[in-house]
Structure 1
């Protein structure tokens, strides 16, 4: 039997004892709770009112299948839990969510509170703007309104860059990526600073994709990885085994082609984004190394 371990997680709402052994928790409850994002295209987003889809959702489902096999519970249920940039880490820590695969950056600061699986994507902060806005790079935004999403690493990156370059961005914050995109679409902000892949995804699914463009150099390169509770070697081994297995077998590349190169729901527009050199390297390295 897998040993039952307890750990304390202190959150904004108080303290709660949480099972560090996720597989024991799942076996006892008969369900696995997977997180999804509502607008992190193409990783995790909604296709209709309550149907999460995406590259990371497919990986989450693969993990759930592996849990069914390991626990010998073919009737194991999946419960999908929506999360935001702000609450995703607390919901992992307090046991509400067992696994979050989406557009979460694996970095050392977050690694103090949660664990990360093998990195499954690499991205950097760029800008989404309206065509004809005259915005081509960060210097064009000096003293102007710049949107980003609350609870993201991009917020910190943009603030640091603005301070270092004396650009004095007036930062506006969306509660999620769709909300931040709306700030640009409605003209309240001139640019939305976010991971470039998410900007391409939002652009592809906009009402009028040709009205927008992604500009500016990439300010940093950071890895995305699935997030789980700390000090749970058994569950991390299982999740890493699933993702590493997909990478070794070639199934990961098929999933990548499906979500990044081919037409995707809901508008059937392809992102047309080939795999980065960093990700190609990690198909062999299978690294969970965080960003600094």
Structure 2
């Protein structure tokens, strides 16, 4: 099975890595492959861009004013990370990441071998991300089954290998396929079922949020709840690439660690 992590490795650059990544991300473009629409409000307001000093970029989601949830494989030891915000003129502004925590059960070897793992991490910002709105954190509703609807969002590329085609928050409505569970949820475009090119995560979408519409008793309404992070992607028919299947690591087994770490950092998550 040719499943590869939807890692956020940019092309080699001659400029300092973070500066070069900013240049790649500063031009409005498509993101999630399949020409998904731009998303400037709603769940799109929680999505952030993460850039590393080695030229990599990933997606993440704000879950508190100074706390970002992303994928474990998006952060590495010895790398400096920044969050990119955009002002009203779409000029990029860097936010310093104070510290990073990766789930203790995360295995980079498992990711490389295409096995499920605790692919979640947290980034603490030195200052609040004032242009973003924290997402509501939860877990998938039971029973998990093929056909369940989810929405993924990220700042990844529209054209595989073309870093300049990323940088705008976009979202795609996908459905679960196979036998989704607490370790992994595999999503496909309902129009193509993964057999032909369709909507899906790609390079740079790693760490981006997956949402599920859930009832909220207090508000007597349906709300979008962040239930997982994007971990990998495939091309059609499980080939290498994007636009076929999108792998999500659900928070079912890991939400407790997220809440505990946030509390230890002095940022208790509301309603948890």
TM-score in terms of structure 2 length: 0.29
What is the TM-score of this pair, normalised by structure 1? 0.27
User: By percentage of residues, which structure has more strand?
Assistant: 2
Task: Tell me which protein shows more helix as a share of its residues.
Answer: 1
Larger radius of gyration: 1
